[in-house]
């Protein structure tokens, strides 16, 4: 049975913990590596992230509500969003949210699976999801895009970074834990976003430099297409 999350401005419906072993792998993995992930992420050279966030901020109103899916510990993008927006963060890992609470004292933080959390329609001016959807079983991506389209207010914007590799569910050792990865390539990412009713405004494959080497992500900024 879904329960309303302890939440101030908006009532998020938090679903029970997932029984999907792929989600459990992500949750337990991120709980265990919370501090390690923060240190590792700080060592990444990722100019694309800041540039894409700039492009989103140009499109958003000066204030308003932003939802960050898979917010993790909240740095650096969520903290920047919180400088001018009311931020709601969702993450499947309690440990990540514990770290986020230190950096985002004003934010509403919801412990939930982003694929099953519920918000009222038209709750947000912007929705972001940085580097989290590569952990989602890829067959759930289209439904998540449709949910995001419903949560956005008219004229709202969605920013996300998606996996570039076409990979069905895989479990790999990553940062010392077993982690789940899944994704489509850019063609299918675009197709799913359009099928969910979005118009794509920014569409770039961007490299970033991790300590282990260079990887690419598919960045998209999109808005619900106006109805004819």
Residues that bind ligand SAM (CB under 6 A): 23, 26, 30, 41, 70-72, 77, 90-93, 96, 113-115, 130-132, 135-136
**Closer Cβ to ligand SAM, 141 or 193, answer by number:** 141
**Closer Cβ to ligand SAM, 155 or 176, answer by number:** 176
**Closer Cβ to ligand SAM, 90 or 163, answer by number:** 90
CB of 114 vs ligand SAM, minimal distance in Å? 4
**Closer Cβ to ligand SAM, 47 or 154, answer by number:** 47
CB of 76 vs ligand SAM, minimal distance in Å? 8
CB of 220 vs ligand SAM, minimal distance in Å? 15
Sign of CA dihedral 52, 54, 57, 58: negative
**Closer Cβ to ligand SAM, 23 or 86, answer by number:** 23
Gap between the Cα atoms of 53 and 160, Å rounded: 10
CB of 124 vs ligand SAM, minimal distance in Å? 16
CA distances from 176 to 30, 34, 36, 172, 198 (A): 11, 12, 9, 10, 37
**Helical (H) or strand (E) element with 126:** strand 124-129
Gap between the Cα atoms of 56 and 201, Å rounded: 10
Gap between the Cα atoms of 56 and 75, Å rounded: 17
CB of 228 vs ligand SAM, minimal distance in Å? 34
14 phi, psi to nearest 5 deg: -90, 125
89 phi, psi to nearest 5 deg: -115, 140
Using CB positions, name the residue nearest to ligand SAM.
72
């Amino acid at each position: 049975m879904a329960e309303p999350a302890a939440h101030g401005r908006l009532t998020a419906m938090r679903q029970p913990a997932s029984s999907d072993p792929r989600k459990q792998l992500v949750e337990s993995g991120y709980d265990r590596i919370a501090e390690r992930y923060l240190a590792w992420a700080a060592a990444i050279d990722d100019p694309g992230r800041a540039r894409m966030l700039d492009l989103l901020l140009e499109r958003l109103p000066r204030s308003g509500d932003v939802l960050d899916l898979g917010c993790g510990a909240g740095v650096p993008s969520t903290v920047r969003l919180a400088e001018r927006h009311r931020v709601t963060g969702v993450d499947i890992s309690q440990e990540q949210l514990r770290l986020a609470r230190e950096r985002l004292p004003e934010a509403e933080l919801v412990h939930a699976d982003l694929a099953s959390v519920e918000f009222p329609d038209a709750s947000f001016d912007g929705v972001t999801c940085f580097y989290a959807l590569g952990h989602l079983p890829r067959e759930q991506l289209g439904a998540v895009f449709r949910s995001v389209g419903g949560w956005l207010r008219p004229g709202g914007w969605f920013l996300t970074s998606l996996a570039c590799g076409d990979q069905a569910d895989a479990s790999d050792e990553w940062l010392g834990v077993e982690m789940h990865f899944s994704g489509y390539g850019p063609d299918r990412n675009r197709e799913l976003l359009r099928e969910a009713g979005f118009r794509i405004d920014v569409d770039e494959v961007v490299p970033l430099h991790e300590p282990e080497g260079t990887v690419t992500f598919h960045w998209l900024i999109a808005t619900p297409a106006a109805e004819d």
